Amino acid sequence: MTTPLDASTQQRVDQWLSGNYDAATKETIQHLIDSGNITELTDSFYRDLEFGTGGLRGVVGVGSNRMNRYTVGAATQGLSNYINAAFPDQDISVAIAHDSRRMSPEFARLVADIFSANGIKVYLFSALRPTPELSFAIRQLGCQSGIVVTASHNPPEYNGYKVYWNDGAQVVAPHDKAIIAEVNKITSVDDIKFEGVPTKIQFIDEEIDAPYIERIKSNAVNPDVIKRQSDLNIVYTPIHGTGITLVPRALDALGFTNVHIVEEQATPDGNFPTVKSPNPEERPAMQLALDLALSINADLVMATDPDADRVGAGARNHHGEFELLNGNQMASLIIYYLLNAWKDAGKLTGKEFVAKTIVTTDLIDQMCERYGVKCYNTLTGFKYIAEVIRELEGKEQFIGGGEESYGYLIGDFVRDKDAIASCAMIAELTAYAKDRGQSLFDLLMAMYQENGFYYEALVSLTKKGKSGAEEIQQMMADFRANPPKSIAGSAVVRIDDYKALTRTDESGQASPIEAGKMGIESSNVLQFFTADGTKVSARPSGTEPKIKFYVSVREPLESKEAFDNTYAQLKAKVQRVIDELQLN
């Protein structure tokens, strides 16, 4: 049959059918042609799977726009070429980890083979491991780069991989664009060196696990509290992911003896059979854990995503119901606890700092100011927080940091968000609250009483296809051309435009936001600040057909008893902002 494909798509199909690809791949392509499945054939071949600034991500399957042996191979060959050129006359090594997804072990081994075929020493985890441990391993082993095969909390049909540099952080400029350029030079399957060199591949596990757990244990700031509250009633679920390998072990190492695993989700499984989405930001993903927590009267419930870099947590509120804390709340609580602990221990010298993203709650900035600790704000993405840590290494000391999307970091021995260390710290601060006759939620309310009640909401609008992309661009253009003069009854006193890298005050005077400053570069983000402390951020997604609006409002919290009324006021104010700005 004649397939009604456009010329470039047809060319890719023909290249795969005639090129040096395996027989099974060619049979699958021919079956798509013979069955007339033009939609699937087009989606599989209409473009090359893009190697972005963070690496690869796509649906697993056959074709140039899919995650498979050949697209992963081309990306790894390009990366190998770049690493060899970047570190001439050095003994180069890389570390590789993978999650529980379909094809993750196979892709990890494939990547190891290609690196080794290019003369690069490979440290390959013998079984699935969390993403933050890969970051730790790079630094521990003195590697020049690293790969973790994962698609984070994407649906089951996806896989991908993230690329890390020698500081254990995801690649940033100038390496990100330079790696992409090298990957794009791999235009033929014949350019890829598939034949691995077994003598250059070393399997690792306990020699990294043990020191990593020890470093997490060293994060504890109140070990005596943990001893007194060792029977803290904890429910944990890895949601079929890598967290099962180390979260229970980390909690045990700290001394927590009463940890209950959600058995239905304990076995690693890339199909994620018990959830629609393995994302701890969504309540349904944590429902089994919440059910167990209710049945055993737990103090704390925690869930990690498949590659264990994000964690969701919940505790009983002042009405006795289990409430899930959002990313802003948990990031704030962690920093609140650490700042207090460092102050009490006499460790605040004026050289300590916290780092967070510009769309994460300003409550953290306010608390840092109270304690005389610097708070650095970066663009969205933990690689920018890692960049700040790297730039300040040896000059200032990193306490912790986080982002609103459920990613947190304590200490600097990992350079990415770390759900293993975060679970340990969340358990500790829950034990600290219980030791004082409080719940985790009581601690949250105490923080709000001291610093103000900050409430944040995320509005995410999906606009698919070419017309959707154009609509998103038009929305941003309209906001720039006609910015709001007031929001929810309060005058806009400042506008930050990260695309133009300008900050405009209430008089209309513009000043530059310094490009090249740590964690800051040109990015299509707009922020509006009002006189009463309301903040609205607009940011088109770089990876999905979405535009995201982050709304933050605040009010004083006079007492614990005033919580419900203040909360209702803040929610109503957020809704007013959404309606006024037509964010729907």
Each residue's pLDDT tens digit, 188-205: 999 999 999 999 999 999
| 3, pLDDT greater than 70 | no
| CA–CA separation, 260 and 288 (whole Å) | 12
Does 381 fall in a domain?
A: yes
Q: What is the pLDDT of residues 493-507, one digit of tens each?
A: 999 999 999 999 988
Q: What percent of the chain has pLDDT over 90?
A: 89
Contacts of 356 (CB under 8 A, 6+ apart): 331, 364, 365, 375, 376, 377, 378, 385, 401, 402, 403
Query: Mean pLDDT across the stretch 396-405?
Result: 96
Listed in order, strand segments (DSSP E) in 154-228 are 158-165, 201-204
Q: Are 469 and 337 in the same domain?
A: no
| 317, pLDDT greater than 70 | yes
Does 38 fall in a domain?
A: no
In this predicted structure, what is the pLDDT of residue 517? 74
| 37, pLDDT greater than 90 | no
Q: Are 397 and 427 in the same domain?
A: yes
Domain that holds residue 535: 453-581
Q: What is the pLDDT of residues 204-219, one digit of tens each?
A: 999 999 999 999 999 9
pLDDT band at 465 (very low <50, low <70, confident <90, very high): confident
| CA–CA separation, 14 and 17 (whole Å) | 5
**Residue 40 corresponds to which tokens in the numbers above?**
């699937």
This prediction has a pTM of 0.95
Q: Are 445 and 462 in the same domain?
A: no
**272-276, 338-342, 512-516, range with the lowest pLDDT:** 512-516
Query: Distances from the Cα of 148 to the Cαs of 4, 107, 211, 383, 437, in angstroms?
Result: 38, 10, 19, 15, 42
Annotation marks residue 152 as catalytic: yes
Average pLDDT, the chain: 95
| 163, pLDDT greater than 60 | yes
Domain boundary among the residues 451, 481, 510 is at 451
Q: Are 416 and 296 in the same domain?
A: yes
Q: Are 238 and 371 in the same domain?
A: yes
Q: Are 317 and 410 in the same domain?
A: yes
* Count of Cβ atoms closer than 10 Å to residue 81 Cβ: 17
Task: Yes or no: say if 373 and 341 are a contact pair by the CB < 8 Å rule.
Answer: no
Q: Are 336 and 376 in the same domain?
A: yes
| 2, pLDDT greater than 60 | no
What's 423's domain CATH number? Answer: 3.40.120.10
Q: What is the pLDDT of residues 495-538, one digit of tens each?
A: 999 999 999 998 889 999 876 678 888 999 999 999 999 999 99
Q: Are 466 and 560 in the same domain?
A: yes
Q: Are 246 and 197 in the same domain?
A: no
Q: Are 469 and 420 in the same domain?
A: no
Catalytic residue chosen out of the listed positions 100, 152, 439, 537: 152
Q: Which residue has the higher pLDDT, 51 or 136?
A: 136
| CA–CA separation, 437 and 446 (whole Å) | 13
CA 412 to the chain's CA centroid: 16
Q: Are 52 and 174 in the same domain?
A: yes
| CA–CA separation, 1 and 179 (whole Å) | 40
What's 493's domain CATH number? Answer: 3.30.310
Q: How many domains does the chain have?
A: 3
In this predicted structure, what is the pLDDT of residue 1? 44
Residue type, 469: A
Q: What percent of the chain has pLDDT over 70?
A: 99
